[in-house]
């Protein structure tokens, strides 16, 4: 079974631009969660989508948004980029059941100049 894939792997943008990141979950997984990891920081939860609906949301500004398609693929968008948005963005898929393990993609490294 193929793992979680994320595209692109690396991205360089300038302040004020917007960016869209993509995540394809493991086949059969309908839950996709997004996380931000900055240097020296743990995993900061952004949001979770399940069956095309946002189910959980972390404490991030409205510049961060997402969506999920009928095939469970998910996209994350960040508008009006700031220098502090430079981070590794990770997505994880799961079955969304009790004890359901999340499986992570390799991440997208975003650098904002």
Partner 1 sequence: DQQVKQNSPSLSVQEGRISILNCDYTNSMFDYFLWYKKYPAEGPTFLISISSIKDKNEDGRFTVFLNKSAKHLSLHIVPSQPGDSAVYFCAVQDSNYQLIWGAGTKLIIKP
Instruction: Compute how many other C-beta atoms are within 10 angstroms of the C-beta atom of residue 73.
Output: 15
C-alpha 49/C-alpha 57 separation (Å) is: 9
Residue whose token pair is 């309908």: 30
**Binding segment for partner 1 among 12-20, 64-72, 76-84, 91-99 (CB under 8 A)?**
91-99
When binding is defined by CB under 8 A, the residue of 56, 71, 77, 80 that contacts partner 1 is 56
- Does the footprint of partner 1 cover residue 104 (CB under 8 A)? yes
> 75: which strand partners?
22, 67
> Which one of residues 17, 27, 38, 41 is an interface residue with partner 1 (CB under 8 A)?
41
CB of 42 to partner 1, least distance (A): 4
């Amino acid at each position: 079974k193929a793992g979680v894939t994320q595209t692109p792997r690396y991205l360089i943008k300038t302040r004020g631009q917007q960016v869209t990141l993509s995540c394809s979950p493991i086949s059969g997984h309908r839950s996709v969660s997004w996380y931000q990891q900055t240097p020296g920081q743990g995993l900061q939860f952004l949001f979770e989508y399940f069956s095309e609906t946002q189910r959980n949301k972390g404490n991030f500004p409205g510049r961060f948004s997402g969506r999920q398609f009928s095939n469970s693929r998910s996209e994350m968008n960040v508008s009006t980029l700031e220098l502090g948005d430079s981070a590794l963005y990770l997505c994880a898929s799961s079955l969304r059941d009790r004890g359901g393990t999340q499986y992570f993609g390799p991440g997208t490294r975003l650098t904002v100049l």
